[in-house]
Amino acid sequence: MKKSLLLIFSFSLVLTLNFLAFSQQEQSVQPQDKNIEKADLVAKAKNLLLSARKVKSEKPLSEIKDIKTISSVQLLLGGNGFEATNETTIKFPNKTLSVISGPFGVIKNAYNGEIAWTQTPGGIQELVGDKTLEFQNVLASDPISILNNFDQQNYQVTFLDENTWQEQSVNTVLLTTNTGHEIKVYLEPKTNMIIGKSSQAKVGGNTFTNEELFLDFKSFNGVQIPMKRLLKRNGQDFAATTVKEVIINAGVEDKIFTKP
């Protein structure tokens, strides 16, 4: 029973929006050459993300104040899978509420910019430590947040490589947030649309590598939203999400993120 509850809680945290090792080969170059190469990679990363920013939305992303998505989610864990409905509301830059309904009942996960909390059929609990940090990381990993913030102070970006990821040709950029959270951002080479991301998450004391592929983009109020998301955890299929409804700039009030 305890294991099942941990799985459901872990799953709900993943849905809320919801240590990557990068090998480096030693090169016999002078420090000055390394600095020049680093500057070139940073400039390339910023140019790619600037282009991605324009592709993502017809309007400045700063004009997107809040967004709500209603999705159906299928958990993919062999014979233990189940379906759920997820309603996620984000109020930029730092508030989120996710309401997950499934065979386990209704679970709410929220962060109001200061306090993170969860409400399950068993009661309400304030989340602290790594769990609060995970909410911050999830918000920072949202594509709109990435494109809004990558050129802000205390954020770092660098171009990694051109390769194949999830059977897709991609340009890969590494973004480090102001809290030190590292996110690999995958951009489609022809359009520079963000089609995926990967990063680490810590849930229940365990660290996982999450990879998320974005598919079937559709425009809502001029903003490109992926209608399907495929999530892998530690290289294994974990969840598939299909977006049913998107509402942008509904005028979300802060009180919905406050712990009851």
The pLDDT tens digits of the residues spanning 134-164 come to 889 989 999 999 999 999 989 999 999 999 9
Q: Which of 251, 235, 236, 211 is nearest to 67 (CA)?
A: 251
- Topology of the domain comprising 2-19+33-257: outer membrane lipoprotein receptor (LolB), chain A (2.50.20)
Contact, 224 vs 84, CB < 8 A?
no
Residues 6 or more apart whose Cβ sits within 8 Å of residue 204:
6, 9, 10
Contact, 215 vs 241, CB < 8 A?
no
In one-letter notation, the amino acid at residue 124 is: I
Q: Where are the domains of the chain?
A: 2-19+33-257
Residues in the chain: 260
Return the bridge partners of 118, or none. Answer: 109, 125
167, two tokens: 């059977």
pLDDT tens by residue, 40-93: 999 999 999 999 999 999 999 999 999 999 999 998 866 567 899 999 999 999
pLDDT of residue 12: 56
DSSP designation for 23: -
- Strand segments (E) across 59-104: 66-75, 83-91, 95-102
Backbone angles phi, psi at 98, to 5 degrees: -125, 130
* Cα 50–chain centre separation: 19
N- to C-terminal Cα distance for the chain?
26
pLDDT of residue 201: 85
Contact, 208 vs 201, CB < 8 A?
yes
pTM for the model stands at 0.85
